[in-house]
Amino acid sequence: MTPWSILVVEDDELLGLLLGELLVEMGHRVCAIAVDEAAAVDAAAIHRPDLMIVDAGLGKGSGLRAVQTVQATGTVPHIFTTGDANAVKRSRPDAIVLEKPFNEPQLARAIALAMS
């Protein structure tokens, strides 16, 4: 497995930390954890991650818009996490979406798909 530099965008700080720990245990490097849309865009510009794992429904802003803003300056593979995968798929049919709660094998498959 290739270790990737990953930006985690999650408005629930505890979930963000847990996801970050899981990614590190899987052999990846978490370059930052952002809790809102503006912080996600800033972190992507600063850290230039290989991959973004983004909560689609942030409390402050939108994960979907954050990815759209980042993509305007260059392509960054991304995975959306959400409690409602169908809602994300309606607006972004080609998106890679992990429905919460998800487990490590599901996360590993989504990462492999996003990075292929």
With a pLDDT cut of 90, the percent of the chain lying above it is 96
- Average of per-residue pLDDT across 40-53: 98
pLDDT interval class at 2 (50, 70, 90): confident
Between 2 and 34, the more confident residue is 34
- The stretch 2-6 carries a mean pLDDT of 94
Residue 93 phi/psi, 5-degree rounding, is -55, -30
Domain ranges, residue 9:
5-115
3-state secondary structure the chain: CCCCEEEEECCCHHHHHHHHHHHHHCCCEEEEEECCHHHHHHHHHHHCCCEEEEECCCCCCCHHHHHHHHHCCCCCCEEEEECCHHHHHHHCCCCCEEECCCCHHHHHHHHHHHHC
Q: What is the pTM of this model?
A: 0.96
Total structural domains within the chain: 1
- CATH number of residue 10's parent domain: 3.40.50.2300
pLDDT score of 89 more than 90 = yes
User: 10 or 59: which carries more pLDDT confidence?
Assistant: 10
Radius of gyration for the chain, computed over Cα atoms and rounded to the nearest angstrom: 13
pLDDT at 68: 96
